[in-house]
Chains A and B, each alone.
Chain A
Amino acid sequence: MKVFLDFCMWFFGGAILFYMLFVIVSYCTMFVIAMLVMRKRYKLDPSEYDDAHIDAFYSKPVSLLVPAYNEEVGVVDTVYSLLNLRYPQTEIIIINDGSTDTTLQTVIEHFRMKPVDKIVRTNIPTKEVRQIYESEIYQNCILVDKENGGKADALNVGINVSQYPYFCSIDGDSILDEKSLLRVMKPIILSDGEVIAAGGNIRIANGAKMQLGSVTESRLSNNYLVIMQVIEYVRAFLMGRIALSKFNLVLIISGAFSVFSKEWAVEAGGYSTNIIGEDMELVVNIHRLIRKKKEKKRIEFVPDPVCWTEAPQTLGVLRNQRRRWHQGLFESLWKHKTMTFNPKYGLIGFIAFPYFWLVECLGPIVELAGYIYIVVAFFLGKIYYEVAFMLLLLFVIYGVIFSIASILFEAWTLNNYPKKRELLRMVLLSFTEIFWYRPLTLFWRCEGLIRFVLGKSDWGNMKRAGIAEKEESV
């Protein structure tokens, strides 16, 4: 018995150590790549590009899709923030997904919507459309009333109704910068359509002074949970997205604000209605399509912050969110598991998928095991102290050092030097991460995994919540 336990402890200790080293090395690599990309743009004047491309002649028209399920409070503000986008040609399509509140009436009254007869081309099969309305005030504003079918279904209806070659999905609760769309469309315009989908950098807006759809003053929140999430977003952004994007390996672009080429999205079958992470699903499907058609197309991640979102302020909501994200991630990966190490999919199969499997998806299990190991080792006595201690040190590098480095480098590259107090607060809080925030989120993510394995019981329930909740992963 003792021999067995001994063997287990050494084996798991070694495995976890090895895993941690692997993760740290891959993060470091991505971090270095991100630094090179970001630092090049240091102090570059962005207005030059923005000003040149405000003219319709240089840009491509975009359809903005706003799915709304019981959003009578926020929907009008969202539409106004879309009307305020600095972009020459857009149409706004609000899709009322069979709301049970007064969303429909609110929109009709506020924008003086009038019913119109319009034949919709069914590119993607969807639930039935009841009626299409057009605004009398804003010619480019359309309201579609449809049977309830979930967010993905609503977006598909929007795609069918849209008339422009690109569409952009927008979450009801995200706040956009006036230049958001311009920035997200930039790689698409500059590549002459070689980039067929693009997503932007999502930031957390809690604590920032927000008023009427604009972030007027970005100030750090006082809520420790929110600050931790801010750090987490920055880290995910620097150690992941940018590097993956450079090699066309992006599997997730946040559904909160991303642009797709309609042609490709339609051919990829639009949004899947029976899956939690419909945005990831679409991206993966498009990747498949690119390989199938053997075309040189890219999906890109834009480092500019384009979209602000409200982060959960309480443990309960955060737990729900993380559980869902992880369940969604696992589900998508599982669905496309055949792509892993499949030579047909090139780097996607050999780097992106293994990375998502090992680091993003199964990572929480190993890490959690690491935490448990440390605790167990503490009780088992001296002989395991060293392994446990090393593990702890790796956690420190992984959690503390990386977090602090991300905060500092982000401030450096974006040239927005934060206030002394805020910077120090974030750094100090990073030291505490490994003791509370990290284990908590690990635990929740494992919960998500378990939920997936146990079956998809409360699915319909999830789908319904989908529209109100944010749909991005960190």
Chain B
Amino acid sequence: MTSAVTEAETEDRAARPAKAPAGVTAGQPGGAGRRPDRLSRQNLAGWLYSTPFLAFFLTFMAFPIVATLLMSFTDFGLRHVTHPLDAEWVGLDNYAALLQDDKFLTALFNTGYFVVLGVPLTIGCGLVAAVLLNSGIDRLRTFFRVGFYVPVVTAIVAVAVIWRFVLDPSEGLIAGLGAQLGFSTPDFLASETLAMPSLIVMAVWRNMGTAMVLFLAGLQAIPAEVREAARIDGAGPLQEFRRITVPLLRPTMLYVSVMTTIGFLNVFEEPFVMTDGGPDDSTLTVSLHMYEEGFRFFHMGSASAMAYVLFTVVLAVTLLQLRLLKDKTR
């Protein structure tokens, strides 16, 4: 019933008077005869309750999304911040320039590197932790769960400051461990080859808690009967994991990987605080490059184009994941 009525009334939704007499309301089209006055009351209430969110959404989301697109076709610069409409239309020049810009291509590659290594590692660690926590231990279960989740709730900036110190070549935790155990440690963040892997390790450390909690909820939703049946049929623990756990976790896997990938593609704080994109642009990510172009050099047209390239990548990767990971058992 709900959807039929909703469909029929889509047209006359907005300008319904607040205190319409019952007779008038009853005569309106689309009421389909059943309790039209109550429906119109719900219509009005529904739209009133939607208004604050929609107002904020239109102002701070819908409009800026369109504005970014428009800005990406202009030469928007510092002087246009005060006079936005004076910006000159340059068509696809910003996009064409990006494809020629080695720095942007490096940033794109680095972001891909971060995602391709970081996302599977985060999901893997989260899954392993969830399976261990779900494997019949009763004691300390909450203790471990809370412990693994703590990094997620802390500010990335603070975490990045802490990790910069952990990796510090002279006073850091790892250098200290090395000195104690008698091996030498590299200067992770100053090395072109090691800086990015260091950021990835830190991101996995910080984000695996989210994946773990989601997988744990997914694991607990698998009915015991299914596992029992598999065991009666002679499935070993490994087979049970491969044939029961993994397929039934598919929806959770899809959600975790989509959300983690979106987050990782937008990586900003970690390189901003820990390396400032260095050494030699080896940790420069698209978001960081966009920030620098937009707010250090005020090349806002070009930065907007970067934002849209990144957004297109996010959309494409999300759609790809939806295709690859969608529930094939249905």
Do A and B pair up? The answer is: no
